[in-house]
């Protein structure tokens, strides 16, 4: 059975342009039952040690990060201890800058709110970098909850990410509250990381996942494209042969989601395939769906809706599956 970790990977404090102190942010994250949180202040790492100290003794682990705030878009670097000068960033060849960020210690690099409204309202927030090698990105923030849907361009971001995945790129999907102050609306997507029972760490043959720090498990899940966004249900997908099995876990409690609520709702599954075909079905079993996949499919993405296939009724997205070349033979 899959284990899921709830994470929030995009946050700010008054160490940059937020209104909350580091302590206030940690208090909020703990109260909201986040298990892992990344502190990603703009172009500074000054809050990292404060956040780690404040989180000590709580059921919350910190990933030190930074939002690299450039005029051509914003990048999120995780597990990094210093800012990297963005004057070297060429928007026509951003991969060179990403490699410099990795050289500075970043374990993961993501793209924040790629379709944010941008100029003249939010200068520099919209991505204008031209990625010739999208695989240089580890993840994309497909849903940003900070500025609201009309400004954040969330459905555009989701659709762009899906197109990349259907082309065969292995890029994880996450959401981000992009917290600058206490949010007025808590009805937002959250990120879940699906983790295995055991994990290979630093060359070890395998460790029980329970013995590995949750922050490590979340970063591992991003690297393995095992993250998704949700307003309650937690999904896991297994693709073997001609069958895709999607399992649904309704025990998260997030936004009041429960087994009872799932059974009172009409759950709608959507599976997009790289052949251009789209499969839709109303689930008669709220816990499991089985989809027959054609022989020419190599990549697919999954969404879950509630009651109707409208953007406002999206429950979960960001789940992806790839059929390895060896498996086809």
Confidence class for position 120, pLDDT limits 50, 70, 90: confident
Spatial CB neighbours of 159, under 8 Å, sequence gap ≥ 6: none
pLDDT value at position 156?
96
Q: Give a yes or no: residue 276 inside a domain.
A: yes
Please check the confidence at residue 38 and state whether its pLDDT lies above 50. Answer: yes
Burial-class residue 329 by CB neighbours within 10 Å (0-12, 13-18, 19+).
exposed
With CA atoms as reference, report the closest residue to 133 among 94, 104, 166, 177: 94
Q: Which of 195, 225, 242 is the last residue of a domain?
A: 195
Name beta bridge partners: 229. Answer: 191, 317
Q: Could you give the angle at the alpha carbon of 274 between the alpha carbons of 134 and 223, nearest 5°?
A: 40
Compute the distance between CA of residue 75 and CA of residue 302 in angstroms, rounded to an integer: 25
**Same domain assignment for residues 182 and 291:** no
pLDDT value at position 186?
80
pLDDT in tens, 93-110: 999 999 999 999 999 999
CATH of the domain at 165: 3.20.20.140
Q: What is the pTM of this model?
A: 0.95
pLDDT value at position 146?
82
**Same domain assignment for residues 36 and 169:** yes
**Same domain assignment for residues 29 and 94:** yes
Confidence class for position 39, pLDDT limits 50, 70, 90: very high
Q: Give a yes or no: residue 291 inside a domain.
A: yes
User: What's the chain's average pLDDT?
Assistant: 93
**Same domain assignment for residues 81 and 187:** yes
**Same domain assignment for residues 263 and 151:** no
Q: Give a yes or no: residue 200 inside a domain.
A: no
Compute the distance between CA of residue 216 and CA of residue 252 in angstroms, rounded to an integer: 21
Compute the distance between CA of residue 154 and CA of residue 67 in angstroms, rounded to an integer: 18
> For the residues 214-238, what does the mean pLDDT come to?
97
**Same domain assignment for residues 184 and 135:** yes
Compute the distance between CA of residue 141 and CA of residue 318 in angstroms, rounded to an integer: 10
For the chain, the domain total comes to: 2
Please check the confidence at residue 83 and state whether its pLDDT lies above 60. Answer: yes
Q: Give a yes or no: residue 228 inside a domain.
A: no
Q: Give a yes or no: residue 39 inside a domain.
A: yes
**Same domain assignment for residues 20 and 166:** yes
With CA atoms as reference, report the closest residue to 38 among 12, 64, 57, 67: 64
**Same domain assignment for residues 139 and 7:** yes
**Same domain assignment for residues 121 and 259:** no
Please check the confidence at residue 202 and state whether its pLDDT lies above 90. Answer: no
Q: Could you give the angle at the alpha carbon of 86 between the alpha carbons of 82 and 90, nearest 5°?
A: 145
Compute the distance between CA of residue 130 and CA of residue 309 in angstroms, rounded to an integer: 31
**Same domain assignment for residues 243 and 188:** no
- Give the β-pairing of 172-176 and 139-144: parallel
**Same domain assignment for residues 164 and 262:** no
Q: Give a yes or no: residue 204 inside a domain.
A: no
**Same domain assignment for residues 11 and 117:** yes
CATH of the domain at 286: 2.60.40.10
pLDDT value at position 119?
80
Q: What CA–CA distances, in Å, run from 229 to 26, 44, 164, 176, 226?
A: 21, 27, 17, 9, 11
Burial-class residue 88 by CB neighbours within 10 Å (0-12, 13-18, 19+).
exposed
Burial-class residue 318 by CB neighbours within 10 Å (0-12, 13-18, 19+).
buried
Q: Which of 179, 195, 211 is the last residue of a domain?
A: 195
Q: Give a yes or no: residue 138 inside a domain.
A: yes
Helix (H) or strand (E) holding 155: helix 154-166
- Which of 182-186, 201-205, 310-314 has the largest mean confidence? 310-314
**Sign of the Cα pseudo-torsion (202, 168, 172, 247, in order):** negative
Q: Give a yes or no: residue 115 inside a domain.
A: yes
Name beta bridge partners: 78. Answer: 65, 108
Q: Are 176 and 143 in contact (CB under 8 A)?
A: yes
Domain that holds residue 90: 3-195
pLDDT value at position 86?
95
Q: Which of 141, 174, 195 is the last residue of a domain?
A: 195
pLDDT in tens, 139-176: 999 999 887 777 889 999 999 999 999 999 999 999 99
């Amino acid at each position: 059975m899959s284990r899921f970790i709830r994470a929030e990977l995009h946050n700010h404090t008054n160490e940059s342009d937020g209104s909350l102190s580091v302590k206030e942010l940690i208090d909020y994250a703990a109260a909201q039952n986040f298990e892992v949180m990344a502190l990603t202040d703009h172009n500074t790492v000054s809050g990292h040690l404060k956040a780690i100290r404040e989180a000590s003794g709580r059921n919350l682990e910190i990933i030190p990060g930074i939002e690299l705030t450039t005029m051509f878009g914003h990048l999120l670097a995780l597990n990094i201890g210093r800012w990297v000068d963005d004057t070297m960033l060429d928007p026509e060849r951003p991969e060179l800058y990403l490699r410099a960020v990795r050289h500075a210690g970043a374990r993961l690099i993501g793209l924040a709110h790629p379709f944010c409204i941008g100029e003249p309202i939010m200068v520099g927030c919209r991505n204008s970098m031209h990625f010739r090698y999208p695989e240089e990105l580890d993840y994309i923030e497909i849903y940003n909850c900070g500025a609201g849907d009309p400004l954040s361009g969330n459905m555009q971001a989701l659709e762009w990410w899906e197109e990349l995945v259907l082309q065969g790129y292995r890029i994880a999907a996450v959401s981000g509250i992009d917290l600058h102050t206490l949010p007025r609306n808590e009805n937002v997507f959250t990120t879940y990381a699906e983790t295995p029972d055991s994990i290979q760490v630093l060359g070890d043959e395998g460790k029980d996942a329970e013995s590995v720090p949750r922050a490590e498990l979340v970063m591992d899940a991003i690297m393995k494209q095992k993250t998704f966004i949700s307003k309650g249900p937690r999904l896991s997908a297994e693709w073997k042969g001609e069958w895709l099995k999607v399992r649904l876990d309704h025990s998260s409690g997030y936004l009041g989601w429960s087994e009872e609520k799932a059974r009172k709702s009409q759950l709608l599954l959507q599976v997009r395939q790289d052949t251009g075909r789209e499969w839709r079905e109303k689930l008669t079993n709220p816990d499991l769906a089985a989809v027959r996949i054609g022989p020419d499919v190599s990549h697919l993405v999954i969404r879950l809706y509630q009651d109707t296939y409208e953007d406002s009724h999206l429950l979960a997205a960001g789940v992806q599956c790839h059929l390895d070349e060896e498996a086809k033979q």
